[in-house]
Amino acid sequence: MSLRKIFVTAGVYYVEIPEAGLYLLCGAPADSVKHLIKRGLINTTEKNGAVFENGPNAILLSDAAVQNGHLCNLAEFPVLQMLYRQGMLIPNHPNNTGKKPILIGMPEQLGAQLRYIHRGNYGLISKEEMIKAGIDEAEADELMRIKLKFAFGHIVPPDQFLDCLPLADEALELEGGVRIERIIHNVFKVSHGGESVEVDLNLATGEIYPCPYPLSNIDVYRHYFSVIHSGDGDGWDCNRPAMGSIITHQGRIYLIDAGPNIHQTLDALGIGKKEVVGIFQTHCHDDHFAGLTALLQSDQPLQFFATPLVRASVTKKLCSLLSISESEFANYFDIQDLVLDEWNDIMGLEVMPVNSPHPVETTNFQFRVLWAGGYRTYAHLADIASFSVIDAMSTDDKTVPGMSFERAAKVKADYLQVADVKKIDIGGGMIHGSAADFEGDASEKLLLAHTARPLTDNERRIGSGAPFGSIEVLIPGQQSFLLRDANEFLRSYFPSVGSDRLNMLLNNRITTFNPETIITAAGKVPNEIYLILSGKVEMLMQSPGGSHYLFSGSLIAEAAAIHNQPSTETYRSLSFVQALHLPADLYRNFVQRFFSSADLLEIREVEERLRLTFLFSDAVTATTLFGLAKACRITRLNAGDTFSQLAEHVHTVGSGNLVSKEDGITMKSGDFWGADSLFASMSKTTKEIVEVSQTLVALNECEVYSLPLKNVARIPVVRWKLFEAFRNSHFYAGPRYRASMRKSDDVDNA
CATH of the domain at 559: 2.60.120.10
Distance CA 557, CA 520 (A): 7
DSSP label of 169: S
Residues 459, 556 within the same domain: no
119 found inside a domain: no
**Sequence-separated (6 or more) residues with CB below 8 Å from residue 259:** 231, 241, 242, 243, 244, 265, 286, 287, 288, 289, 290, 291
Residues 568, 541 within the same domain: yes
Domain hosting residue 374, numbered range: 225-475
Residues 333, 364 within the same domain: yes
Q: What is the pLDDT of residues 436-465, one digit of tens each?
A: 999 999 999 999 999 999 999 999 999 999
Distance CA 448, CA 69 (A): 33
Residue 366, amino acid = Q
610 found inside a domain: no
* Residue 195, phi then psi, degrees to nearest 5: -110, 155
Taking CB atoms within 8 Å and a gap of at least 24, the contacts of 487-495 are 489/531, 489/533, 489/552, 489/553, 489/621, 489/623, 490/531, 492/553, 492/623, 493/555, 493/622, 493/623, 493/626, 494/594, 494/595
Largest CA distance in the chain: 83
Distance CA 584, CA 558 (A): 8
625 found inside a domain: no
In 3-state terms, what secondary structure has residue 232?
Answer: coil
Please check whether residue 42 is in contact with residue 54, taking contact to mean a CB–CB distance below 8 angstroms: yes
User: What totals of helices (H) and strands (E) does the chain contain, helices first?
Assistant: 19, 43
Residues 639, 734 within the same domain: yes
Domain boundary among 455, 475, 495: 475
160 found inside a domain: no
208 found inside a domain: no
Task: Output the pLDDT for position 232.
Answer: 95
Residues 364, 510 within the same domain: no
Beta bridge partners of 655: 703
Strands (E) located in 70-185: 70-71, 102-105, 163-166, 172-174, 178-184
Question: For 71, how many CA atoms within 13 A lie in the half-sphere containing its CB?
Answer: 33
Strands (E) located in 382-462: 421-425, 445-449
Task: Output the pLDDT for position 594.
Answer: 78
Residue ranges for the chain with pLDDT beneath 50: 683-693, 731-750
430 found inside a domain: yes
Residue 629, amino acid = A
Residues 456, 551 within the same domain: no
Domain boundary among 562, 582, 603: 603
> Sheet harboring 172-174: ordered strands across?
172-174, 178-184, 187-192, 195-200
Residues 437, 513 within the same domain: no
Residues 466, 486 within the same domain: no
DSSP label of 73: B
Task: Output the pLDDT for position 545.
Answer: 61
Altogether, the residues listed in the chain come to a count of 750
Residues 230, 189 within the same domain: no
618 found inside a domain: no
Q: What is the pLDDT of residues 492-551, one digit of tens each?
A: 888 888 999 999 999 999 999 999 999 999 999 999 999 999 999 999 987 766 788 999
First to last CA, the chain: 37
Residues 658, 737 within the same domain: yes
Residues 410, 293 within the same domain: yes
616 found inside a domain: no
Please check whether residue 577 is in contact with residue 270, taking contact to mean a CB–CB distance below 8 angstroms: yes
Domain boundary among 447, 475, 503: 475
Residues 195, 331 within the same domain: no
Report the share of the chain in percent with pLDDT over 90: 80
- How many distinct structural domains can be found in the chain? 4
Distance CA 383, CA 121 (A): 14
pTM score above 0.75: yes
H or E element that contains 556: strand 555-556
Distance CA 350, CA 368 (A): 5
Distance CA 669, CA 704 (A): 9
Q: What angle do CA 264, 64, 231 make, to 5 degrees?
A: 20
CATH label of the domain that carries residue 449: 3.60.15.10
